[in-house]
Structure 1
Amino acid sequence: MYKWLAVILACILIAAGITGCVYSKAMTPVKKARDAAEARLKSETDIKSVDEFYLYNGSSTYFVVIGKNSKGKETAAWIPENKKDEVHVKKMSDGVSKQDAVNKLLSEKKPKEILGVRLGMEKELPVWELSYLDENSNLNYYYIHFDSGKWWRKIENL
């Protein structure tokens, strides 16, 4: 009886170890991207601390960082993957909050579940990207302009 228990416990530990290794390997590119974005952030912006990090893959890839600047103001930076392109920086108070973006989605759609809310950049315009499941469990994306709070685009029924 104890031998079976030891074998099962050993299998669980081995499976957990393998899962941890796979996860670590899978996250390596994201960690490298974050490190590169933070290095560029420090050299090109006034943001001193990083509170949130988003990897946004739209028409172009952006690393989006939300943090505090030297005056303690919450600020967002959109860092393009292409190092030749300009970093965009805006105070969070100058745009629509994450909660306001979610409220707009809730007032216009009836999502069964909101999967994610993150900042991105499309055609030089900062946007909130909201991903959600509708009542039929279809994946949908809803985009709102960060500056104005107006609807920009939606991708439905994926």
Structure 2
Amino acid sequence: MKKILIFLVLFIVISVGVFIKVYVSAQEPLVTAEEKAASLAKEKVELSEIEDFHIYHGTETVSVLEGKNKKGENIIVWIPEKSKKVIVDKRKNGLSKEEAVKRLLDEKNPTKIISVKLGMENNIPLWEIHYRSENNLINYYYVDFKTGEWLKKIENL
């Protein structure tokens, strides 16, 4: 009985260790991308705090940082992978996440909103709204960050 218990504890410890190793290895490229984006952003912008980071995959891969500048204002930084041109805007100069979702709800009737995130296509900052419609179909709705205008839709995937 003691051998079985020792074997079980050893198995659990090894399994947890392997899981942690796999997780850390999987996160490494994202952490590296965030460090590079933060470094580029800090060269061009007085970025004092980073609150969120994600990578947008559209027609081009874009790193998006959300944070605060030295004055404490909320800012957003977009960095396209190819050009590395840093584009910055204050959050208050564009639509909020809630306003972007409202634009979708004014036109569509999603059954579930999966994600809402900032991105950029053709040098236009935008909100990408990923949602499910009737029959569990996947849809994407793109709203211009500054004007709130609909940019494009990808429906019924």
Scaled by the length of structure 1, the TM-score of the pair is 0.90
String of CA shifts for 1:43-67, please: whole Å, max 9, x gaps. Answer: 1112221111111111111111111
1:59-98 to 2 correspondences below 5 Å: 59-82=59-82, 84-98=83-97
String of CA shifts for 1:99-130, please: whole Å, max 9, x gaps. Answer: 11122223322222222111101011000011
Q: Does 1:107 align with 2:106?
A: yes
The Cα shift of 1:4 comes to 4.2
Cα RMSD between the aligned structures? 1.7
Distance 1:112 1:16, change over 3 A: farther
Matched residue of 1:53: which SS? strand
Q: AA paired with 1:22?
A: V
Stretches of structure 2 lacking an aligned partner (at least 5 in a row):
none
45-54 vs 132-141, greater mean Cα deviation: 132-141
The Cα shift of 1:72 comes to 1.1
Q: AA paired with 1:136?
A: N
1:1-158 to 2 correspondences below 5 Å: 3-82=3-82, 84-158=83-157
11-20 vs 124-133, greater mean Cα deviation: 11-20
Matched residue of 1:77: which SS? strand
The Cα shift of 1:8 comes to 3.8
Between the aligned partners of 2:104 and 2:45, the Cα distance in structure 1 is: 31
Between the aligned partners of 2:43 and 2:110, the Cα distance in structure 1 is: 40
The Cα shift of 1:3 comes to 4.6
Q: Count matched residues.
A: 157
124-133 vs 7-16, greater mean Cα deviation: 7-16
Distance 1:14 1:112, change over 3 A: farther
117-126 vs 11-20, greater mean Cα deviation: 11-20
Matched residue of 1:136: which SS? helix
The Cα shift of 1:9 comes to 4.1
String of CA shifts for 1:74-116, please: whole Å, max 9, x gaps. Answer: 111101222x442111111010001111222233222222221
Stretches of structure 1 lacking an aligned partner (at least 5 in a row):
none
Distance 1:136 1:13, change over 3 A: farther
